[in-house]
Structure 1
């Protein structure tokens, strides 16, 4: 009985079985390469090439982020050792500048927010207000409320729209109690640091961000 020899070429998505090349399809079945359409093989090669570069870039960005935070932490520790103080501002935000004032690194700390059960009480009070008010008298408020309590793509309450409700001044006791309930529902569950980079050609010019986000590059 002839032995079955299996060799894998993961970079190409190919499995060689006793000298014959196969590729897995989306259902996990092995399909002989000779039976795969040319355009499907070409698409597969293109996607694998792009993903290869994307993985390498992701690893590079991760290393850059880790080195950046390590350098900033080391500098802060040096200042603390020398002067008993650290660079910082509101909520731990920090700005570091080059000596010529043409380069800037900013560390911004953003709170991560969740909402407690009081939010459902607020929603009930707001619904009472909207049901009592005439349907066409406050359409803009109805729109904001709808957007605020609709979940976003991650299944979370729309925070920015919810905070817009808190800025509205409405002379209604139920509405004001609803706003108090929203404020009471806010929970700070943690914080996340964001590092941003800026340059400018001269000190008279505005700052230009160095974009690392692929969608904004």
Structure 2
């Protein structure tokens, strides 16, 4: 190569190099895509009552999502003792704060244990579902069952609330969160209400088939 050609090549490289550097810098500076959020609005059953938070089914679900669905995260906004009224009062702020793509609503157990009116529980859950859908989120409604000592009329009406709401709003429904563990006393803590750590993976696996399709 003659000196003249070499000089031309060096000048060309000097002119192009800054453009390459700027392009590389722009690519490096480009922010990563914001993760999509699953928001869980629940009571003590989702707040890992009596356990380390990492042992609860929600945290176990978050771990699974992190490994199987990159780009998603879980926010657990569950509060022990929460009623549907509490959830309905908090939903707007939680939706604004987290802008979730999916909302899991696991509430109603404390309403039932307190014998609160079924219509009131249904109205509160209805408000939460409507608010979530209006914010553009998909909804998974997680139901509960009440013990028979409350009477057939109440227990049947309580279960029917979830079915009616799911059908009315065309949302996914898991009828009974505790179904896979409910018949074995060994699955519960001393209060006979809250599952032990060893039972939490079964709750995660029970919720997962209905939750995972909402992550597509």
TM range (shorter): under 0.3
Task: Report the structure, 1 or 2, having the larger strand content.
Answer: 1
In terms of Rg, which structure is larger?
A: 1
Task: Report the structure, 1 or 2, having the larger helix content.
Answer: 2
TM-score by length of 1: 0.21
TM-score by length of 2: 0.21
